[in-house]
């Protein structure tokens, strides 16, 4: 049967609505499994069994009386792929926890197209609510987390989720979140930007693949084009961001990333509105360099930027 959508053979959607997902369990690292990053303990905590909502906690070696900043992490994957246990995201989380001295709580949210947006937003917002008010029963959070220092971190689709979670916080955004970090946030729009036009089809994230992710993840209604508010935060149907109480933001972009120009425009518009936004542009990097090239100079520099942001 012909596939209507084919995401690199990993995910296929057929004309009859059936879905094929390639078994990539060999790329999944279990909690407490040995990783290349020593000194970081991990464990999984179920938040909602029915939804398949769980988090993986990364705890770096720390003295018993030390309280760590907590980073709620939303992984990338175009809303359609991956989990906290996916090798690249797991190793990225473990390394960041160790080098930045932070407890990371990585969220396993529902994936599209089985669960279209806003399912991922709802799951990640629920995880933030749990972290702020319902996590006292979790031993590591109770013993080592600093409740006054909760941050959001998201890469690609996860960066998009960070934006949407902040919107859902309303007036409590600055009360619940000390700061937020968006790594190459996954935004789109009907009008093409220069970085989208210039992007080659062989890129890790091409404009063609980006469009496919949006077709698979946006709500299945007649208004779900790329100017939908979930996709385009600055679009004609999106909420006015001037009234949103954003916490301080750190946004990292890649100079050779298809999402570069949308990220730059997002940051510039927020700055014009008086929001506190620190932008770091890695001119020579493509999409997801921080996870795919974990030990590169750019990835190390990004970790330093994140660490300063957390501990300033």
Nearest to 130 by CA among 155, 182, 165: 165
pLDDT band of residue 169 (cuts 50, 70, 90) is very high
Lowest mean pLDDT of 22-31, 68-77, 101-110, 115-124, name the range: 22-31
- pLDDT tens across 98-143, in order? 999 999 999 999 999 999 999 999 999 999 999 998 777 899 999 9
CA distance 157 to 73: 11
Asked if the model's pLDDT at residue 63 lies above 80, the reply is no
pLDDT for residue 245: 95
- pLDDT tens across 144-166, in order? 999 999 999 999 999 999 999 99
Asked if the model's pLDDT at residue 34 lies above 70, the reply is no
Whether the CB-CB separation of 288 and 155 falls below 8 Å is answered with: yes
Q: Is the peptide bond before 22 cis (omega within 30 degrees of 0)?
A: no
- Run of H or E including 35: none
pLDDT band of residue 48 (cuts 50, 70, 90) is very high
Could you tell me which CATH number the domain at 26-311 has?
Answer: 3.40.50.1820
> For 215-237, what is the mean pLDDT?
94
Average pLDDT in the chain: 94
- pLDDT tens across 258-288, in order? 999 999 999 999 999 999 999 999 999 999 9
pLDDT for residue 217: 98
pLDDT for residue 136: 79
Asked if the model's pLDDT at residue 36 lies above 60, the reply is no
The domain limits of the chain are 26-311
Structure tokens at 154: 């998201």
CA distance 262 to 205: 14
Q: What is the DSSP-derived secondary structure letter of residue 178? A: S
List the catalytic residues. Answer: 156, 257, 287
Whether the CB-CB separation of 287 and 254 falls below 8 Å is answered with: yes
Measured CA to CA in angstroms, residue 165 lies from 127, 151, 153, 154, 168 at distances of 10, 12, 11, 11, 5
Nearest to 41 by CA among 18, 61, 14, 15: 61
Nearest to 184 by CA among 294, 248, 260: 260
CA distance 91 to 38: 11
Lowest mean pLDDT of 3-12, 78-87, 189-198, 298-307, name the range: 3-12
Structure tokens at 25: 């369990």
End-to-end CA distance of the chain: 55
pLDDT for residue 224: 87
Whether the CB-CB separation of 186 and 157 falls below 8 Å is answered with: yes
Residue 38: CB atoms within 10 A of its CB come to 9
pLDDT band of residue 35 (cuts 50, 70, 90) is low
Asked if the model's pLDDT at residue 37 lies above 90, the reply is no
Q: What angle do CA 205, 215, 226 make, to 5 degrees?
A: 85
């Amino acid at each position: 049967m012909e596939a209507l959508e084919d995401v690199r053979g990993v995910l296929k959607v057929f004309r009859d609505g059936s879905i094929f997902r390639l078994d990539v369990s060999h790329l999944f690292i279990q909690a407490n499994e040995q990783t290349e990053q020593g000194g970081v303990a991990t464990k999984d905590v179920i938040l909602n069994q029915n939804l398949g909502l769980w988090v993986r906690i990364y705890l770096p070696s720390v003295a018993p009386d030390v309280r760590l900043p907590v980073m709620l992490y939303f992984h990338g994957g175009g809303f359609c792929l991956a989990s906290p246990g996916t090798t690249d995201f797991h190793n990225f989380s473990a390394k960041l926890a160790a080098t930045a001295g932070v407890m990371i709580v990585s969220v396993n949210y529902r994936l599209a197209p089985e669960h279209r947006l806003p399912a991922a937003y709802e799951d990640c917002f629920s995880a933030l609510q749990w972290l702020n008010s319902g996590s006292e029963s979790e031993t590591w959070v109770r013993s080592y987390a600093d409740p006054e220092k909760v941050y959001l971190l998201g890469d690609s689709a996860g960066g998009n989720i960070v934006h949407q979670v902040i919107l859902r916080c309303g007036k409590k955004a600055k009360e619940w979140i000390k700061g937020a970090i968006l790594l190459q946030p996954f935004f789109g729009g009907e009008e093409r930007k220069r970085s989208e036009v210039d992007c080659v089809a062989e890129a890790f994230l091409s404009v063609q693949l980006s469009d496919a992710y949006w077709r698979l993840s946006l709500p299945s209604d007649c208004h779900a084009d790329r100017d939908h508010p979930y996709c385009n935060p600055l679009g004609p149907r999106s909420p006015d961001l001037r009234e949103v109480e954003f916490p301080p933001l750190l946004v990292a972009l890649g100079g050779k990333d298809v999402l570069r120009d949308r990220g730059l425009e997002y940051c510039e518009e927020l700055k014009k509105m008086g929001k506190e936004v620190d932008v770091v542009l890695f001119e020579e990097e493509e999409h997801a360099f921080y996870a795919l090239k974990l030990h590169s100079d750019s990835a190390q520099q990004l970790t330093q930027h994140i660490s300063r942001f957390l501990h300033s």
